[in-house]
Structure 1
Amino acid sequence: MHNIKQFFLLLLLWMAIVYGMELMITANPKYLVLRYSNINNGFFGLLNFLQFYIYVRWIIPLFIKERHWRKLLWQLLPVFIGFILLKYFFARWIFAKDILYTGYRLDRITHSRIDLYTTFGEYVVNALWKGIIIVLMAFAYQFFMLWLQEDRRRAQLQQQKAQAESGFLKMQLNSHFLINSLNSIYSLALMGAPEVVTANKTLTALLAYMVEQPSDIDYRSPMKEEICYLQDFVQLQRLRTGCDECILFSVPALLPEKNIAPLLLVPFVENAFKHGITNQPEKAVTITLQCDAQRLVFRVHNFKGNYHKDKTGGIGLNNVRKRLQLIYPGQHQLDITETEQEYYCNLVVNW
């Protein structure tokens, strides 16, 4: 089915080109001119196209695959010569007056009119040049199509590479989050806090959401689901710290029907809880999310703690920078400001 469609599309394009070139050369609508144009461009143009299509459909692809010059020559010559003889047959026995006729002369003795026609040798010489042009056009078309296929393949490989890299970065973010969450629950368990059961359920819901998100770089999760995920994450931290006033999370009541790359915002919140002060209400972690039809603005502010970072420190934010470059190239702005006492993250994503 694909080959049939390709055949007729190429035939339509071929006829449009040959008739278009004829119209550019002459604009005379006389009957004889139209008849010659239909015979030369229509009938013989169809024969030329069939010759061209045989080259691009069978002979040249086989040559590109095997790179055998002698075999190419032995395949080209029969088709090349065969079409010259076939076209001469039609020109000589059906369209002689239209194609081969070159004028007339008067016989010196009888003074009768003698019609003159292009000889077989002259016709073959002209047909040779046309045949060579058809061969060159076939090679040009085939190499152009190969270039398009290679360009499409490179684009697909680039997309697959980006998806693989995005999935790898998200996996690193997920593992980083899991380590911190388990540490939080472990802290509750050491203190014998009853909230450890609720924290375990919340973590289960968070992990279920994370597992459900595909690694496709083009996938977007509804904003409402992502915010619910963030709220569960904040709740887990509140259970760990036992201080509700130490975390301020501001989200608009009404949200536009927008989608966002999943698990994109949580690393900023995680970083604030991990390296900030989370048990002093006067130095609360502040999380603000604003979203409209044009953009999303996400801000996180925390006061820095005095304890030393663990070995995994910094992985989350570095990975989220790379992920932003992959998912929202030219559509985001990330500003991180750090002082001796405070840490600010400001992310803007344009839809």
Structure 2
Amino acid sequence: MKNQVKEYISFLKNYRIHFIAWFFFIFYEIVISGFIRGSFASFGNYVLFYVLNVGLFYFHAHVIMPASRPNTKRSLWLLPMLIILEVAFYVSLTIFLADFFQNGGRVSLAAFNNIAIGNGVWRTIYFILFSTGYYYLMNYLKERKIAQESEKQRLLVIIENYNAKEELIKSQHAHLKAQINPHFLFNTLSFIYSHARKTAPEAAEAIMTLSEIMRYAIQADDESNFTSIMLEIEQVENLIKLHQIKAEHNFNILFKYNPKELADIQIIPLVLVTLVENMFKHGDLVLEHLPAIISINLTQQVLIIETQNLINMNATPTSHHIGLDNIKKRLQIVYGQKAFLKTSKGKNNYFNVMLSIDLN
């Protein structure tokens, strides 16, 4: 019951303008016209014929007009024909009902006289004209609403494009800033290198090596998903050189690879560098009879990278294996099932890492 009341109230709110307009129109016709003519019809007569008039109004606007398809060639003959049929039916119906109620249920053909037909035709055309105006007004308002929505969507697209352009400018600006910051750092390192070269040549060499490693890391992050493995090997050699300087050349490392075999091989960057850095971080590399080994081999387009190093039992256990986990995730994304990384603890307390990448 409550839902029905809510629906009824909602209906009244949605069509309140219609109710108000019909109220004033009917008030004018009944009260004012009645006083002018000096006579009034019965209440039942008013109810019957205004229900028919209102029905004619909405029937013409919502059925006849859409069916005739205005603004088409078909409407040139269809609309007049439908209006003629509409007038004929409505005039006949109103005369029949008027005579039926006035004569207590009897209808006489005399009721269909020229005056009654003329008044009926006039009254019908009167409401049809108002209904036609209402139809075009509703269409105009509907089309205007559609145009407004379209314009609103167009403006939203413009705003989104503008915001996207703003974001692009900000991103480009941030990218330029990101380029400026490393550029400033490299200039600073170059300045330090030039001043340390004469007084501390080994420190100057360490600075230059560090600069080359950082430059490679930044370029590898910005430019491509793949890099030449020979460039990666070059950075590993720089990394070894840097750590050797730090350890006063006490590290024992064997680096095995065939440059000709690997000349055309491309891999994702910083994989080999990360494996070697992990070896330096957790390995004991000072024993001459137990050297760390880095080997790279290519067999039937399967790249095998292996590192072996003695575990440093004196190192603080702070590792969370982030570097190796990061490599595994990157390999999975790029190579899927064609790559796997295996770690194991072997003889003499050696830590072994084997990376296999199927390049086929």
**TM bucket, shorter chain:** 0.3 to 0.5
Higher relative contact order (CA 8 A, sep 6+): 1
**Higher share of residues assigned helix:** 2
Normalising by structure 2, we get a TM-score of: 0.42
